[in-house]
Amino acid sequence: MRYSLDAIRRRPGRSALTSLGIGLAVGLVVLLLALSNGIQTSAATLAAESGVDLIAFSNNSNLAAGVFPPVEGAHDLASEIPKVDSNVVAASPWLIGDLVFGNQSLWTDANASAVPAGWSPTASGTVGWIPSDNTGIETPNLYNGTGFTSAGDPHYGNGSYQGPQTHEIVLDQQLAYVLHLKVGDPVWLAAAQPPSVAALPSWYANATEFRVVGISSPFWLVPSALLAFTYLSELQEIIGGASSSTDYATLVLIHLTDPTDPSADESRIVSAFPTLHVITLGDILGEIQHVVSLYRTFGELVGAIGVVVAALFATTVLQMSVDDRSRELALLRAVGHSRASVGAMVVEEALLLSLFGLAVGLPIAFVSAYGLNLYLMHLLAGLPASFSFVTFDASVLLTGLALVVAVGLVAAIAPAARAMQLPVAEELRAP
């Protein structure tokens, strides 16, 4: 060991570069493993804590393309699904669409023909739901305001769409900031942007005025920094002129009393509602696993290339080290060291360089992971504080250790063989 350390100390620059190369390669692999591990672990925890045990949507949906045809009879499903499956606590129909929002200041400027250049209503994702049908399902937390005040969906009026409209809306914090709105302020909603600034007064005249009753946190299920929530029937009215023929939703979130066997509930619901396709929490996690696995495979390929390059680089450096010390190694052989012990010294040097690389690579991986996690958390608003895109556990760290040992052993094969085969007499006679 002392001889190997002395060999490293005598060539500090070359040794440092070798360890750095190994460290960067191993750090990259460790980072990629921690990233895939973090996404899988956090996604499983998030899905389990969400209260969403089943998701129902139209049979014609295409998950990969994000195409969700309307689920018809949305309001009835909220009461009919629990009737056919007593294990269902809540079946919450959600209509997800894009609306255009205009605030009070833009309305004032539009009516005064003084709209500043570049100003226009703001497009935002909007969810229409029945607030009282979300029992057991995690929904955005309110920062300010009282939220929705009426039970059920008053305007739906048991299918007549003649009930009173509440015109209540909850905005997430970022959308409220963009629109400069607070609780109690009015906001106007429409399905499309005005064609021009001159059309703004007409756009406001035909838009629906709502009152902000709450400012909420972002929401993980719809990863958008700009999101609003209204009653289901009132969003249906804006999008499609709500009536019994347009009583639709995008999907239905289902919470179960006992989620231990969701496949049985899935079968009962599909049997009763053949136009629906139902997926379980396991299906959701399976999709996440599939996507993560694809990225992990690609990452492992990139990491493997890096490790191979690092091993080749280390082999070259060790070969140079053996050539530089050929007389010393021959002298060791001459005074009684066996071929195996001389080869073991080269292997020790390779392993020490690799371990120094691990000491460099792990901090780099930790710092990079921390920065990447902060960036992704900022990019995808609405994820809970407990969610982490990267997770370092024993398996990740042991993989890093195994890699550096493997790099050291592979890199030492050719140089160690060279050291053991040195012609002692010729090396000692050499000038």
Whether 325 and 410 map to the same domain: the answer is: yes
- For 102, list phi and psi in degrees, rounded to 5: -125, 135
CA distance 120 to 113: 13
pLDDT at 285: 65
CA distance 377 to 197: 36
**Number of alpha helices (DSSP H) and beta strands (DSSP E) in the chain:** 13, 12
Q: Does some domain include residue 278?
A: no
Whether 357 and 232 map to the same domain: the answer is: no
Q: Give residue 288's pLDDT band: very low, low, confident or very high (50, 70, 90).
A: low
List pLDDT tens digits, range 384-399.
666 777 888 787 778 7
pLDDT value at 318 more than 60:
yes
Last residue of a domain, one of 258, 274, 305: 258
**pTM of the shown model:** 0.69
Whether 139 and 42 map to the same domain: the answer is: no
* Total count of domains within the chain: 2
Least confident of 35-39, 104-108, 252-256, 377-381: 377-381
Whether 347 and 322 map to the same domain: the answer is: yes
Whether 202 and 140 map to the same domain: the answer is: yes
pLDDT value at 143 more than 70:
yes
Question: Which residue reads 């599909």 in tokens?
Answer: 270
If you average pLDDT over residues 323-339, what whole number do you get?
72
Whether 113 and 146 map to the same domain: the answer is: yes
Q: Which range is most confident: 217-231, 249-263, 293-307? A: 249-263
Between 16 and 298, whose confidence is greater? 16
Kindly report the average pLDDT of the chain as a whole number: 82
Q: Does some domain include residue 267?
A: no
Q: Does some domain include residue 160?
A: yes
Please write down the long-range contacts of 277-283, taking CB distance under 8 Å and 24 or more positions apart.
277/56, 277/57, 277/58, 277/59, 277/61, 278/54, 278/55, 278/56, 278/254, 279/54, 279/55, 280/53, 280/54, 281/47, 281/48, 281/52, 281/53, 281/54
pLDDT value at 283 more than 90:
no
CA distance 147 to 296: 42
Q: Does some domain include residue 277?
A: no
Whether 318 and 415 map to the same domain: the answer is: yes
List pLDDT tens digits, range 68-98.
888 999 999 999 999 999 999 999 999 998 8
pLDDT at 31: 82
Q: Does some domain include residue 79?
A: yes
Last residue of a domain, one of 258, 278, 302: 258
Whether 244 and 101 map to the same domain: the answer is: yes
Q: Does some domain include residue 386?
A: yes
pLDDT value at 382 more than 60:
no
Whether 103 and 122 map to the same domain: the answer is: yes
Domain range enclosing 87: 54-258
pLDDT at 232: 95
Whether 310 and 207 map to the same domain: the answer is: no
Whether 386 and 403 map to the same domain: the answer is: yes
Between 245 and 30, whose confidence is greater? 30
Last residue of a domain, one of 213, 243, 258: 258
Region of 251 please: left (phi>0), alpha (psi -120 to 50) or beta.
Answer: beta
Whether 97 and 223 map to the same domain: the answer is: yes
pLDDT value at 42 more than 80:
no
If you average pLDDT over residues 334-338, what whole number do you get?
74
Q: Does some domain include residue 273?
A: no
Q: Does some domain include residue 143?
A: yes
Percent of the chain, pLDDT > 90?
32
CB 407 within 8 A of CB 354: yes
